[in-house]
Amino acid sequence: MKKPIGWILLILLTIVPALARAQGKPEKERVRIGYAARAVTHSLPFLANEAGLFREEGLQVEVVRTAGAVSPMALISGDTDFATMSAFLMIPVAAQNREVVMLSGVTRYASMSLVSRPEIRSAKELSGAIVGLQRPGDAYEKNARSALQHLGLNPDKDVRFLYLGSNEVMWTALETRRIAATMLTPPATLFARKAGMNFLVNLAELKIEYQGSTLATRRSFIRDHPNLTRRVVRAMVRGIHFYKTRREDTLKILSKFLGTKDREALDEAWNYASDMPSKPYPVESAVQAVINHLAEREAKYAKHKPAEFIESGLLSELDKSGYIDRLYAERR
């Protein structure tokens, strides 16, 4: 009799805990979110995850680096479910594959700075020099061309472009005299200021519309997982609120994301993105500016309209419910 009783006890010890788990809280849904660059405007998924906002939405999120052009391809292949990337990266892929669509947008205006070596203080002194950029025809080049034109220079005749492959090496190339000028964003702008570099043009002051960082996903993912997508959008909106209203906590998270403990650099990064919209709708006119940029090199993009690349229904639903307004009303 002892053996059967032993087996029964063993079975009960295995089954009862499993039943208890099944009747308790359900396991969190797993989601992978990519980000295209280690830049403060792409930090929101990391921020929301570190702050526990996804967890509070019942999601178990893995945030992964999917650098540059890898980001939209990882989204299409299903390696990621969502991704933050520039509209410049997203639109060419979405034009070929209707699956990819932007749910929200964080930056509406071009906001980089054209920064030069200390000995170059004017447009005249920059003429004939080398300007370091990321990749041919990308958003950095578009911004550089706008800045150079603002200085009265012809980007195709008055300077030479050197393509460095990554935004993360631009400051190093400037510091080591490999290039005479480049486009920078925080925290590199602080290092440049401390090193005595010259800020020739701050594009943020010119209010040039150009849709930057966006949150993108697949249309089929929205269709198959509408509630999960809704919770991701809500967590990202909460992430913006967290960024704007909990500065010290945000700086700690940005320190991990950007890989620096320099307080001044972190303050510079926070200030740079602190005006991101609390209701992060993609702006059609800013998306159109990206389409126009793409069409300069390939005329086929001119036939497209901004609405083809935008799906802001879930954000609008959240907005109309009063949820976002209530978030900020609680701080007053």
Q: Work out the mean pLDDT of the chain and round it to a whole number.
A: 90
Q: What pLDDT, on a 0 to 100 scale, did the predictor assign at position 20?
A: 41
- Are 222 and 194 contained in the same domain? no
Q: What is the pLDDT of residues 171-193, one digit of tens each?
A: 999 999 999 999 998 888 988 99
Angle at 263 between CA 259 and CA 268, to 5 degrees: 85
For residue 96, being part of any structural domain is answered with yes
For residue 308, being part of any structural domain is answered with yes
Last residue of a domain, which of 156, 177, 206? 206
Domain CATH code at residue 132: 3.40.190.10
- Are 47 and 59 contained in the same domain? yes
Helix (H, G, I), strand (E, B) or coil at 104: strand
- Are 274 and 236 contained in the same domain? yes
Last residue of a domain, which of 185, 206, 227? 206
Q: What is the pLDDT of residues 98-134, one digit of tens each?
A: 999 999 999 999 989 999 999 999 999 999 999 999 8
What are the residues facing 85 on neighbouring strands?
214
291 close to 306: Cβ distance less than 8 angstroms: yes
CA distance 253 to 46: 8
Q: What pLDDT, on a 0 to 100 scale, did the predictor assign at position 11?
A: 46
Last residue of a domain, which of 165, 189, 206? 206
- Are 133 and 224 contained in the same domain? no
Length of the chain: 332
Q: For 288-305, what is the mean pLDDT? A: 95
Q: For 284-298, what is the mean pLDDT? A: 95
Helix (H, G, I), strand (E, B) or coil at 65: strand
Q: What is the pLDDT of residues 249-270, one digit of tens each?
A: 999 999 999 999 999 999 999 9
Q: For 21-42, what is the mean pLDDT? A: 76
For residue 10, being part of any structural domain is answered with no
Q: What pLDDT, on a 0 to 100 scale, did the predictor assign at position 276?
A: 93
Q: Which two tokens stand for residue 11?
A: 């079975």
Q: What pLDDT, on a 0 to 100 scale, did the predictor assign at position 307?
A: 97
pLDDT at 14 over 60: no
Q: What pLDDT, on a 0 to 100 scale, did the predictor assign at position 25?
A: 45
- Are 117 and 61 contained in the same domain? no
Residue type, 255: S
- Are 117 and 105 contained in the same domain? no
CA distance 288 to 82: 22
What are the residues facing 113 on neighbouring strands?
184, 202
- Are 325 and 234 contained in the same domain? yes
Q: What pLDDT, on a 0 to 100 scale, did the predictor assign at position 6?
A: 52
Q: What pLDDT, on a 0 to 100 scale, did the predictor assign at position 33?
A: 97
What are the residues facing 102 on neighbouring strands?
216, 310
Quote the pTM value: 0.84
CA proximity to 230, closest of 309, 328, 308, 321:
321
- Are 98 and 216 contained in the same domain? yes
Q: What pLDDT, on a 0 to 100 scale, did the predictor assign at position 167?
A: 75
165 close to 129: Cβ distance less than 8 angstroms: no
Q: Tokens 């980000």: give the residue.
A: 35
Q: What pLDDT, on a 0 to 100 scale, did the predictor assign at position 44?
A: 97
Q: For 132-140, what is the mean pLDDT? A: 89
Domain that includes residue 40, residue range:
29-109+211-329
CA proximity to 99, closest of 110, 90, 87, 107:
90
For residue 179, being part of any structural domain is answered with yes
Q: What pLDDT, on a 0 to 100 scale, did the predictor assign at position 23?
A: 47
Q: Which two tokens stand for residue 246?
A: 């909990």
Count of domains forming the chain: 2
Alpha-carbon distances of 301 from 70, 96, 134, 148, 224, rounded to whole Å: 21, 10, 22, 25, 29
Residue 116, CA atoms < 13 Å, CB-side half-sphere: 22
Q: Confidence band (pLDDT; 50, 70, 90) for 13?
A: very low
For residue 174, being part of any structural domain is answered with yes
More confident residue, 332 or 218: 218
For residue 304, being part of any structural domain is answered with yes
* Lowest model confidence (mean pLDDT) among 5-19, 206-220, 311-325: 5-19
Q: What pLDDT, on a 0 to 100 scale, did the predictor assign at position 37?
A: 84
| Dihedral in degrees, nearest 10, Cα atoms 43, 49, 54, 58 | 150
Q: What pLDDT, on a 0 to 100 scale, did the predictor assign at position 128?
A: 96
- Are 87 and 202 contained in the same domain? no
pLDDT at 331 over 80: no
For residue 294, being part of any structural domain is answered with yes
Q: What pLDDT, on a 0 to 100 scale, did the predictor assign at position 166?
A: 79
Q: What is the pLDDT of residues 148-165, one digit of tens each?
A: 999 999 999 999 999 998
Give the torsion sign (CA, 165, 169, 174, 176): negative
